[in-house]
Amino acid sequence: MDWKRRHVLGLADFRPEEMEFVVDTARSMEEVLTRDIKKVPALRGKTVVNLFFEASTRTRTSFEIAGKRLSADVVNFSSATSSVTKGETLLDTAKNIEAMKPNILILRHPASGAPHFLSRFVTCSIINAGDGANEHPSQGLLDLYTILKAKGKIEGLKIAIVGDILHSRVVRSDLHSLGRMGGKLWLCGPPTLVPREMERTGARVTYDIREAVKDADVVMMLRIQLERQKTAYFPSLREYSRMFGLNRSVFSLAKDDAVILHPGPVNRGIELSDELADSASSRILNQVESGVAIRMALLYLLAGGHDASH
Amino acid sequence: MLLIKGGRVIDPAGRRDEIGSVWIENGKVKDFLPGEEAPGGYDGRVLDARGKWIVPGLVDMHVHLRDPGYEWKEDIRTGTLAAAAGGFTSVACMANTKPVNDHPEVTRYIREKADREGAAAVYPVASVTRGIEGKEMVDFAELAEAGAVAFSDDGKPVASSLMMRRALEYGKAFGLLLLSHAEDPELCGGGAAHEGWTAHRLGIPGIPSAAEEVAIARDILLAKQTGGRLHIQHISTKMGVDLLRMAKRAGLPVTGETAPHYFTLTDASLEGYNTNAKMNPPLRGEEDRMAILEGLLDGTIDAIATDHAPHDDYVKRCEFIAAANGIIGLETALPLSLALIAGGKVTPSRVVELLSVNPARILKLAGKGALGKGADADVTIIDPDAEWEYSEDRVRSKSRNSPFFGWNLRGRAVATLRGGRVTHSLLEGVAADA
């Protein structure tokens, strides 16, 4: 198929064929990662800038490795401030970086819609590496890829996502990727963190983790952040862990071959028990591995690698 | 001497809706003359308004003129020129300037500058608390003497129930009116859009309807407790309308306003993180929009006010959550309000009440909102059928933050007169009197 996108801002407007195409491309990239010399010249002479306005080690590193495997020059730019009231605006920062002629800008920003906004003003490509509570498209695609590797399909699978749905950009991308590929999604957590309106995506909402996990093929646990307790979303981590955490007893309700995902970093013993995190059912490290391949695929496609091969 | 000739004179305060002419002398209305033609022997200036409506000058009881302090966004001259272009002859400006209008000197500055440069009458609204900080009351009586027509911390709510109670109660001694920006700041939290499907989908932190409704309910109860005069600003929710209706049925001295964007748009306009659809209170859902229309129709909502909130480009040209709240509205309020008539339930007379008669009555503006003998010669001539496109290059305001650019609008003010002087004219051969 033809790849016509200049940006990857979110999966909201991705068709299933496009997502399959990215996964197929990732599959061929993954082959590179098994070689002794894990590097191909596809992006030689191209510059990729990681522009991160939020702390993130794994996503930034994943993109950095992905870029380097493709021989791109990868530069990291981190900024602690992201508000117009504190010095340089986001637009000015981005325009300054663009003046240095990068080919691809990878943006993480705490404001939902920040990459959509910048895409109206810059000429280089943008990959959204997480914008506020909106989307994290490469995560949505790597979750798709990881589940495909584990289950061979998405269609008809019961996929439970448990945790802070309200603030999760991972969920909003997964709803597009896994939902659009035919997965039956269940969203679970305390009512303060799971808006009922999310049922309009076609997902089911429940406040009972047992109902969500029962007969599930995939259980994805989300990281719960301590500051949510301080703003009264739930009473204590102890109660949260008891009522909405995944442990052996709850997980036994899932299908025998069910797998566990987590976008990381894991709070062991809080949303996920220590033993399950390391169990044979866990695919958490596979997600990290798939992540590099997916990000290589996105960089490759945006850099025009696909056109060049024709 | 001036005769506005042969239009449909809609003057709800004088129970008039008929073809005729308005005769003006020395800045006041001298008389109404029935029929299309000028009386025999009249040899003064004539403004031909045949096929047009002649209505009392429009009154906007909620604008931000940004003067003093933020003159790069708007000033009293440009703000009142925008008002005149939109058909307004009087505006009440909010106190969140820099310095805040919490001192008679600021009130006098606004009035004097408006007298010198204003293309519309400007009525300053002073703050309820010093610096809009919610801690100490302003000197209400002194500010009223200096010309403040009402009091509001608009832009921010009066967060403390006790402060609101005291202000309503104390103000009774001087017959003061409190305008309430009704919002529970804690419930509002860090929200930036109506808490509903659109915000959840776009990952924007929500502002629940209850943040407004809790505050409206509180203020109504405090008005009942104290007997103080209360007006609810920019109502955006269904329950907000319901609460006001209930208060009126209970005979409480409470009035309320909404803005054109709340009966024209919904949160669907946020699509693509459109910062020109960001305001506080936020654009709500369709059910709320319908309830506001109902409130305008049945008399629950007394006035349409613009909440004209000019902002320079760069505070809107940024990520959604960081963008400033508010839109300009003076030049679009009239056609958006006239669109209510097309729905078939709202009469032209009701629109004039909402945009002129009622705000003038609520603010007790002598001589405004009516065309009877002796009233100020503030007149708006409306072509209800004019079709035009609202475009950026014709905006009179200094700012360009509007979600309505590119809209094809119907109806507009083709001439505006203040005190018998033309402040705006699109009529052939008629120029503004500068």
Report how far residue A77's alpha carbon sits from residue A52's, in angstroms, rounded to the nearest whole number.
6
**A22 and A151 within one domain:** no
**A98 and A167 within one domain:** no
Q: Is A200 in Cβ contact with B197 (below 8 Å)?
A: yes
Domain that holds residue A179: 137-286
> Is B345 within 8 Å of chain A by CB?
no
Residue B375 lies in a domain: no
Type and span of the H or E element at B422? strand B421-425
A/B interface, count of CB pairs below 8 Å:
63
Q: Please tell me the total count of domains within chain B.
A: 1
Residue B204: its chain A contacts at CB < 8 A?
112-113, 132-134
**A169 and A100 within one domain:** no
Q: Is A172 in Cβ contact with B203 (below 8 Å)?
A: yes
Residue B39 lies in a domain: no
Which residue is closest to A84 within chain B, CA to CA? B322
Q: How many residues are listed for chain B in this entry?
A: 434
What per-residue confidence (pLDDT) applies to A305? 64
Q: Is A135 in Cβ contact with B197 (below 8 Å)?
A: no
- Å from B210 to nearest chain A CA? 15
Residue B431 lies in a domain: no
Indicate the pLDDT class of residue A122, thresholds 50, 70 and 90. very high
> Is A32 within 8 Å of chain B by CB?
no
Residue B390 lies in a domain: no
**A240 and A112 within one domain:** no
> Is B315 within 8 Å of chain A by CB?
yes
Supply B89's token pair: 């002859």
Residue A90: its chain B contacts at CB < 8 A?
318-319, 322
> What average pLDDT does range A93-113 have in this prediction?
95
Q: In this predicted model, what pLDDT tens digit does every residue of B247-288 receive, in sequence order?
A: 999 999 999 999 999 999 999 999 999 999 999 999 999 999
Q: In this structure, is the dihedral angle defined by the CA atoms of residues A162, A164, A169 and A172, taken in order, positive or negative? A: positive
Whether this model's ipTM surpasses 0.85 comes out as: yes
In this complex, which of A83, A133, A197 lies closest to B322 when CB atoms are compared? A83
> Is A120 within 8 Å of chain B by CB?
no
Which residues have C-beta within 8 Å of that of residue A148, sequence separation ≥ 6?
A23, A154
> Is B344 within 8 Å of chain A by CB?
no
Residue B201: its chain A contacts at CB < 8 A?
172, 200-201
Residue A7 lies in a domain: no
Task: Note if B298 is an active site residue.
Answer: no
Q: How many Cβ atoms sit within 10 Å of the Cβ of residue B44?
A: 11
Per DSSP, the three-state class of B273 is coil
> Is A164 within 8 Å of chain B by CB?
no
**A163 and A109 within one domain:** no
Residue B387 lies in a domain: no
> Is A195 within 8 Å of chain B by CB?
yes
What per-residue confidence (pLDDT) applies to B229? 97
Q: Is B204 in Cβ contact with A132 (below 8 Å)?
A: yes
Report the residue of B204, B319, B320 to disrupt the A interface, i.e. the one with the largest count of A CBs within 10 Å: B319
What per-residue confidence (pLDDT) applies to A226? 79
What per-residue confidence (pLDDT) applies to B181? 98
Residue A5 lies in a domain: no
In this complex, which of B204, B314, B318 lies closest to A112 when CB atoms are compared? B204
**A296 and A262 within one domain:** no
Q: In this predicted model, what pLDDT tens digit does every residue of B1-44 receive, in sequence order?
A: 899 999 999 999 999 999 999 999 999 999 999 998 878 888 88
Supply A193's token pair: 């963190």
Q: Is A109 in Cβ contact with B200 (below 8 Å)?
A: no
Domain that holds residue B220: 57-362
**A129 and A141 within one domain:** no
Residue B185 lies in a domain: yes
Q: Is B315 in Cβ contact with A169 (below 8 Å)?
A: no
Map tokens 């894991």 to a residue.
A266
Residue A200: its chain B contacts at CB < 8 A?
197, 201
Q: In this predicted model, what pLDDT tens digit does every residue of B184-229 receive, in sequence order?
A: 999 998 999 999 999 999 999 999 999 999 999 999 999 999 999 9
- Å from A82 to nearest chain B CA? 9
**A169 and A187 within one domain:** yes
Per DSSP, the three-state class of A151 is helix
Q: Is A116 in Cβ contact with B203 (below 8 Å)?
A: no
Q: Please tell me the total count of domains within chain A.
A: 2
**A250 and A215 within one domain:** yes
> Is A288 within 8 Å of chain B by CB?
no
Report how far residue A272's alpha carbon sits from residue A266's, in angstroms, rounded to the nearest whole number.
7
What per-residue confidence (pLDDT) applies to B104? 98
Per DSSP, the three-state class of B351 is helix
| B136 burial via Cβ count (<10 Å: 0-12, 13-18, 19+) | exposed
Half-sphere exposure (CA, 13 Å, Cβ side) for B302? 20
What per-residue confidence (pLDDT) applies to A79? 79
Residue A135: its chain B contacts at CB < 8 A?
203
Q: Are B112 and B87 in contact (CB under 8 A)?
A: no
Supply A151's token pair: 């289950």
> Is B321 within 8 Å of chain A by CB?
yes
Q: How many Cβ atoms sit within 10 Å of the Cβ of residue B155?
A: 17
Q: In this predicted model, what pLDDT tens digit does every residue of B382-409 receive, in sequence order?
A: 999 999 999 999 899 999 999 999 999 9
Of the residues B60, B153, B267, B307, which is catalytic?
B307
**A162 and A82 within one domain:** no
- Residue A306 pLDDT > 70: no
> Is B197 within 8 Å of chain A by CB?
yes
Residue A13: its chain B contacts at CB < 8 A?
none
Distance from chain centroid for Cα B395:
18
Q: In this predicted model, what pLDDT tens digit does every residue of A205-237 receive, in sequence order?
A: 999 999 999 999 999 999 998 777 778 899 999
> Is A9 within 8 Å of chain B by CB?
no
> Is B408 within 8 Å of chain A by CB?
no
Q: Is A132 in Cβ contact with B200 (below 8 Å)?
A: no
CATH number (domain holding residue A126): 3.40.50.1370
Report how far residue A59's alpha carbon sits from residue A76's, in angstroms, rounded to the nearest whole number.
12
What per-residue confidence (pLDDT) applies to A304? 83
Q: Is A117 in Cβ contact with B203 (below 8 Å)?
A: no
- Residue A84 pLDDT > 50: no
Which residue is closest to A86 within chain B, CA to CA? B322
> What average pLDDT does range B161-176 have in this prediction?
97
Q: In this predicted model, what pLDDT tens digit does every residue of B51-92 receive, in sequence order?
A: 999 999 999 999 999 999 999 999 999 999 999 999 999 999
- Å from B314 to nearest chain A CA? 9
> Is A173 within 8 Å of chain B by CB?
no
> What average pLDDT does range B361-377 have in this prediction?
98
What per-residue confidence (pLDDT) applies to A231? 83
CATH number (domain holding residue B156): 3.20.20.140
**A78 and A141 within one domain:** no
The closest alpha carbon to A130, from A236, A223, A254, A260, belongs to: A223
In this complex, which of B200, B273, B319 lies closest to A195 when CB atoms are compared? B200
How does strand A104-109 pair with strand A184-188?
A: unpaired
Q: Compute the CA torsion angle B241, B247, B249, B250 (nearest 10 deg).
A: 170
**A33 and A125 within one domain:** yes
